[in-house]
């Protein structure tokens, strides 16, 4: 009984059904474990956590300047930057906006930098549903290759105060 | 004082010795737990009705305030107060021993109570709209952090009382041989609790000092690692406590006993050894931690803690099946299920808890916690979808089920409204299951967790998540309403019985007709070579579901942009 002390010698051989189940469960656990390194080496989607220490305010100043030097038009007052294929793209996640709007090309790869000058934020690209964490003081670098063209929304999915639901942005991917 | 500590009675129903001090502590902790469950529950329905886009009840500031209160009152206060009651029961009552250092137990209770009240005053006063995680550099009032620290110190003291009681029982030879399985499981929970509370202190003490302006802000990445050492490990306390209660309820409702003590106890040891690295699950798409770190830690070192849950997921139903077959329901694969005491809320809660925890919480948890799959899930509503299945459909429902036995045996009151109690687990479990499913779908459609407005009204760059997202949020609202009704029924039965129930004096008769021991087997068990063929079949279905869901997610992942 589970609420009474067991008999004196309870270290007994394991029952057949239990032995079979433990074997199956352990095998499945090992399959799960192997999938992750496999995906790391052969899969196209990985989070490697590449990041560099950065001063939060310096990062913000850099992105503002980077945007000013390259902007080509705007959407609802938010500047648009067309990023050269293969180069670095910068995104500022700030209470409560993603700045600027990035214009990328399908099939090209970019080093997308994202960081915050204030609180923690979340980078959520929709309707793709790709999600990454943004921390102040960490320049998070994602090497991305957009595989479909279209207009994508960026939303914040880490609570960042009263205006959290207003924090949106945009990534435009052209053919 | 010394005599009072030894005051006791022998339970006429179970033959267990119940010490007066232990009984009082169990009662107070259980009642306080239910008060916090009610506060958390009221917050839950307000949140559900706000996320339902057609209703959108709360204004934005109160949404996040209610969310903070919901998380902390439910996940910390309700569950930990109830777990303290479980620890006292598993040590003092099951081992028939006096409680060691009962003065310390009262001090622990006072600290937990004071801390939890302080935290709630801060939250409802609008001084700590930081959500449960209070990720730095988001800052709350210093008393919010201090309240949490005091609560944690109180809990740590009570865990010490538990260990001291184990020692006293051993020394005074109140039992022979090894401790019962339920006590063993509770000990696993208590060991994990020590590690959890230490992580809490490491994360929250510097944060408290920072909120006072004494030191620089803690590093946000460091804080996340340490805080989740508290946040995720505390869930494993819940798992260990819940599994112990599964074994306990199995015994109470159908008279089951563990098939092999070695297997059950070994699985608890796996929890203790491998759960401490679960913090990594929350950092899978974080900057600053490498892929190899993420892969090793997220797998709990090759999923050995998951293995533990899968073992319990087999041994619990197998022990029920074996008991039912002994009780005479041995026909075919599933007569033991068909003829089970479904009208007994203790049994219904046990099975629903097992199924919701395993099939929904477990499968989604391991899948979401796969390093790369986390990219398409992190911070979406798939996460609350997962943990409402584990901690609400699993732990809370199991605690509810055992309450129907605690009331007659510890409070010694006759259960009021048995008909309401009979349907309560179905309504609550059903509501939570539907909510977990709809949250999962909403999350797959891109809806973020902890977010006031999925329509993003007023945003400079408008966002449309599509009709699927909005529809699923509506289902979340409806499901939350159903679950809240189930929760309210539970509180009604518990409060009415404890305060207005007829006193029980002699042997407690169950108000639920348990057909146990009423039939004699007329057919030879058909077992296909196994003693528990029904459970083998069910667990194979489980494994197949698991594999399909896991690989489907890998496929969905392969459709998104390439990223490294």
Render pLDDT for A4-63 as a digit per residue (tens, 0 to 9): 888 878 888 888 888 999 999 999 999 999 999 999 999 999 999 999 999 999 999 999
Low-confidence ranges of chain B (pLDDT < 70): 1-5, 276, 300-302, 510-530
Closest CA in chain B for residue A79: B461
The pLDDT of residue B519 is 42
Question: Where among B144, B179, B214 does a domain terminate?
Answer: B179
Cα distances from B485 to residues A132, A138, B44, B432, B514, in angstroms, run: 36, 45, 11, 11, 26
Q: Per the structure block, which two tokens stand in for B53? A: 């886009």
Q: What is the residue range of B427's domain?
A: 355-455+464-504+531-558
The pLDDT of residue B518 is 41
Nearest in space to A40 (alpha carbons), one of A28, A31, A48, A30? A48
Based on its alpha-carbon atoms, the radius of gyration of chain B, rounded to whole angstroms, reads 23
For B304, other C-beta atoms within 10 Å of its C-beta total: 18
* A148 is a domain residue: yes
The pLDDT of residue B304 is 86
Closest residue to B561, CB basis, from A12, A138, A146: A146
Domain count, chain A: 1
| Greater pLDDT, A3 or A29 | A29
* A71 is a domain residue: yes
A3 near B CB under 8 A:
yes
* B227 is a domain residue: no
Residue with tokens 């129930």: B501
Task: Report CB contact under 8 Å: B380, A131.
Answer: yes
Measured in angstroms, the CA of B283 and the nearest CA of chain A are apart by 8
Pairing of strands A150-155, A168-174: antiparallel
Render pLDDT for A68-111 as a digit per residue (tens, 0 to 9): 999 999 999 999 999 999 999 999 999 999 999 999 999 999 99
For B405, other C-beta atoms within 10 Å of its C-beta total: 21
Chain B neighbors of A140, CB-CB under 8 A: 287-288
Q: What is the residue range of A150's domain?
A: 51-174
* A97 is a domain residue: yes
Whole-complex ipTM: 0.96
Task: Report CB contact under 8 Å: A133, B378.
Answer: yes
Mutate to test the interface with B, among A129, A141, A144, A172 (most CBs of B within 10 A): A129
Chain A neighbors of B318, CB-CB under 8 A: 17-18
Mutate to test the interface with B, among A1, A2, A106 (most CBs of B within 10 A): A2
Closest CA in chain A for residue B140: A161
* B244 is a domain residue: no
Question: Where among B146, B179, B212 does a domain terminate?
Answer: B179
Task: Report CB contact under 8 Å: B463, A156.
Answer: no
Measured in angstroms, the CA of A143 and the nearest CA of chain B are apart by 5
Q: CATH number of the domain that A143 lies in?
A: 2.60.40.420
DSSP secondary structure string for all residues of B384-437: HHHHIIIIIIIIIHHHHHHHHHHHHHTS-BPPS-HHHHHHHHHHHHHHHHHHHH
* A96 is a domain residue: yes
* A14 is a domain residue: no
Alpha carbons B278 and A55: distance in angstroms, whole number = 30
For residue A142, is pLDDT > 70?
yes
Chain A neighbors of B461, CB-CB under 8 A: 75-76, 78, 101, 153, 168-170
DSSP secondary structure string for all residues of A10-70: ---PPPHHHHHHHHHHHHHHHHHHHHHHHHHHH-SB-----EEE--HHHHHHHHHHHHHHH
* Count of A-B CB contacts under 8 Å: 316
Alpha carbons A144 and A147: distance in angstroms, whole number = 9
Closest residue to A2, CB basis, from B180, B378, B451: B180
The pLDDT of residue B511 is 66
Nearest in space to B409 (alpha carbons), one of B57, B16, B133? B16
A93 near B CB under 8 A:
no
Nearest in space to A70 (alpha carbons), one of A99, A94, A98, A111? A99
Closest residue to B371, CB basis, from A10, A36, A76: A36
Closest residue to B560, CB basis, from A10, A45, A135: A45
In three-state secondary structure terms, A90 is strand
Domain count, chain B: 2
Q: Per the structure block, which two tokens stand in for B109? A: 């209770």
* A149 is a domain residue: yes
The pLDDT of residue B233 is 86
Cα-Cα-Cα-Cα torsion B534, B539, B540, B541, nearest 10 degrees, comes to 90
Cα distances from B538 to residues A127, B317, B318, B333, B535, in angstroms, run: 36, 9, 10, 10, 5
* B84 is a domain residue: yes
- 14-33 of A, contacting B, C-beta below 8 A: 14-18, 20-22, 24-26, 28-30, 32-33
* B344 is a domain residue: no
The pLDDT of residue B302 is 64
Render pLDDT for A100-133 as a digit per residue (tens, 0 to 9): 999 999 999 999 999 999 999 999 999 999 999 9
* B440 is a domain residue: yes
* A106 is a domain residue: yes
Question: Where among B125, B160, B179 does a domain terminate?
Answer: B179
The pLDDT of residue B301 is 66
Mutate to test the interface with A, among B274, B406, B547, B562 (most CBs of A within 10 A): B562
């Amino acid at each position: 009984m589970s609420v009474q002390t067991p008999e004196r010698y309870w270290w007994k051989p394991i029952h057949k059904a239990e032995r079979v189940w433990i074997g199956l469960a352990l095998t499945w656990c090992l399959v799960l474990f192997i999938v992750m390194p496999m995906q790391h080496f052969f899969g196209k989607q990985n989070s490697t956590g590449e990041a560099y220490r950065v001063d939060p305010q310096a990062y913000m100043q850099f992105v503002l300047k980077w945007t000013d030097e390259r902007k080509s038009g705007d959407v609802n007052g938010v500047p648009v930057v067309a990023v050269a294929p293969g180069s670095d793209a910068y995104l500022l996640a700030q209470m409560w906006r993603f700045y600027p709007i990035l214009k990328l090309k399908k099939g090209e790869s970019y080093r997308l930098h994202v960081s915050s000058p204030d609180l923690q934020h979340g980078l959520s690209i929709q309707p793709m549903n790709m999600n990454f964490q943004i921390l102040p003081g960490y320049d998070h670098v994602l090497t991305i290759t957009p595989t479909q063209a279209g207009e994508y929304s960026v939303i914040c999915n880490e609570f960042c105060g009263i205006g959290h639901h207003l924090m949106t942005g945009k990534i435009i991917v052209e053919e | 004082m010394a005599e009072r500590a030894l005051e006791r009675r022998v339970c006429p129903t179970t033959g267990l010795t119940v010490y007066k001090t232990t009984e009082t502590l169990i009662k107070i902790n259980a009642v306080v737990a239910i008060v916090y469950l009610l506060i958390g529950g009221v917050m839950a329905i307000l949140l559900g009705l706000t996320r339902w886009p057609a209703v959108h009840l709360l204004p934005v500031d109160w949404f996040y305030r209610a969310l903070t209160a919901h998380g902390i009152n439910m996940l910390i206060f309700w569950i930990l107060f109830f777990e303290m009651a479980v620890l006292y029961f598993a040590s003092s009552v099951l081992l028939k021993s006096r409680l060691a250092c009962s003065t310390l137990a009262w001090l622990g209770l006072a600290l937990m109570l004071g801390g939890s009240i302080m935290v709630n005053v801060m939250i409802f006063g609008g001084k700590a709209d930081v959500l449960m995680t209070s990720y730095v550099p988001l800052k709350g009032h210093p008393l919010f952090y201090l309240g949490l620290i005091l609560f944690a110190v109180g809990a740590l003291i009570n865990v010490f009382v538990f260990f001291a009681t184990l020692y006293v029982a051993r020394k005074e030879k109140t039992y022979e041989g090894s401790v019962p399985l339920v006590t063993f499981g509770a000990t696993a929970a208590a060991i994990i609790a020590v590690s959890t509370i230490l992580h809490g202190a490491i994360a929250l003490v510097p944060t408290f000092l920072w909120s006072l302006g004494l030191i620089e802000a803690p590093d946000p990445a460091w804080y996340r690692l340490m805080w989740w050492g508290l946040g995720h490990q505390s869930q494993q306390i819940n798992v260990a406590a819940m599994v112990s209660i599964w074994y306990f309820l199995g015994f109470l409702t159908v008279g089951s006993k563990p098939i092999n003590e070695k297997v059950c106890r070994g699985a608890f040891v796996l929890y203790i050894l491998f759960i401490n690295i679960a913090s990594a699950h929350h950092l899978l798409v974080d900057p600053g931690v490498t892929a190899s770190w993420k892969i090793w830690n997220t797998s709990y070192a090759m999923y050995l803690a998951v293995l533990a849950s899968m073992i319990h997921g087999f041994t619990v139903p197998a022990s029920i099946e074996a008991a039912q077959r002994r009780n005479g329901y041995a026909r075919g694969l599933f007569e033991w299920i068909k003829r089970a005491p479904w009208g007994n809320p203790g049994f219904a809660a046990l099975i629903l808890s097992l199924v919701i925890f395993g099939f929904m919480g477990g499968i989604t948890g391991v899948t979401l916690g796969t390093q790369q799959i986390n990219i398409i899930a992190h911070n979406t509503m798939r996460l609350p979808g997962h943990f409402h299945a584990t901690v609400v459909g699993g732990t809370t429902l199991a605690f509810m089920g055992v309450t129907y036995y605690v009331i007659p045996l510890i409070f010694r009151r006759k259960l009021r409204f048995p008909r309401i109690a009979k349907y309560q687990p179905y309504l609550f479990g059903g509501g939570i299951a539907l909510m977990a499913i709809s949250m999962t779908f909403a999350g797959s459609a891109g809806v973020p967790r902890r977010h006031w407005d999925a329509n993003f009204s007023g945003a400079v760059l408008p966002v449309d998540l599509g009709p699927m997202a909005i529809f699923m949020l509506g289902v979340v609202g409806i499901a939350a309403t159903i679950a809240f009704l189930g929760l309210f029924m539970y509180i009604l039965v518990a409060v009415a019985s404890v305060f207005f129930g007829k006193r029980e004096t002699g042997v407690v008769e169950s108000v639920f007709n348990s057909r146990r021991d009423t039939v004699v087997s007329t057919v030879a068990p058909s077992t296909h070579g196994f003693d528990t063929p029904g459970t083998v079949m069910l667990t194979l279905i489980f494994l197949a579901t698991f594999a399909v869901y896991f690989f489907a997610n890998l496929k969905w992942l392969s459709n998104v942009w390439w990223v490294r």
